Structure 1
Amino acid sequence: MVYIISWDDFVQQSVQIFRFNPDKTRYVMKYRHSDGKLVLKVTDDKQCLKFKTDQAQDAKKMEKLNNIFFTLMARGPETDIAEVVAGKEQVAQPAKRGRGRKQ
């Protein structure tokens, strides 16, 4: 297991692992309250990457990584993730309800 120091490297290598083998890739988050550490792990049983942090602001980064993986799973591994990385992913808006007459 390799701990990646740079967050950007971790995300980039994690996406490469997923794109190479989407059916076998797993993503695990583990938080230890006693240590105040968050460990993220991405593996496909051949490669294993880990990222460890104790910084609260890294929670937003983790949320973006979740969005990246959700996008890749939903749209396919060849999807361009530039929209998600830039924070420009469009959120579906609820349908507007027309005003009908009361009966």
Structure 2
Amino acid sequence: MVYVELLDDFEKMAERIYLNSPMKTRCTMKYDHSNTCLKVKVTDDRACVQYKTDSQQELRKLEKLISNMMKHMASGER
């Protein structure tokens, strides 16, 4: 699988995946200790988008994005 290069593009694509199928969308995060980077994947089994970073600023932005997505997923809102 290919990783998205820009965080803004990843955010837009992840939100689009969620809005297209909110009941099937999953989000996973994995810390790769050997490469010291965080990997994030959003999928609905038809579309998949991945992003990885080792930047502290991008980690904060990803945390905010994931937090917002989890709030929407837990509340059942679109």
After TM superposition, what 4+ stretches of structure 1 lie above 4 angstroms from structure 2?
none
Q: Which amino acid aligns with 1:50?
A: Q
Runs of 5+ consecutive residues of structure 1 not aligned to the other structure = 78-103
Partner of 2:38: 38
How many Å apart are 1:16 and its aligned residue? Answer: 0.6
Partner of 1:25: 25
Which one is further off, 57-66 or 21-30?
Answer: 57-66
Higher relative contact order structure (alpha carbons within 8 Å, sequence separation ≥ 6):
2
Identity rate, percent: 42
What is aligned with 2:52? Answer: 52
Which has the larger share of helix? 2
Q: Which amino acid aligns with 1:29?
A: M
Give the paired residue count.
77
Question: Normalising by structure 2, what TM-score?
Answer: 0.87
Instruction: Tell me, yes or no, if the aligned pair for 2:30 and 2:39 is still in contact at 8 Å.
Output: yes
For the aligned residue pairs, the C-alpha RMSD in angstroms reads 1.3
User: Structure 2 regions of 5+ residues with no counterpart?
Assistant: none
Contact 1:38-1:54 within 8 A present in 2 as well = yes
Structure whose residues are more often strand by fraction: 2
- Larger Rg over CA atoms: 1
Contact map agreement 1:28 1:42 (CA 8 A) in 2: yes
Amino acid across the alignment from 2:19: R
AA paired with 1:34?
S
Deviation at 1:63, TM superposition (A): 1.4
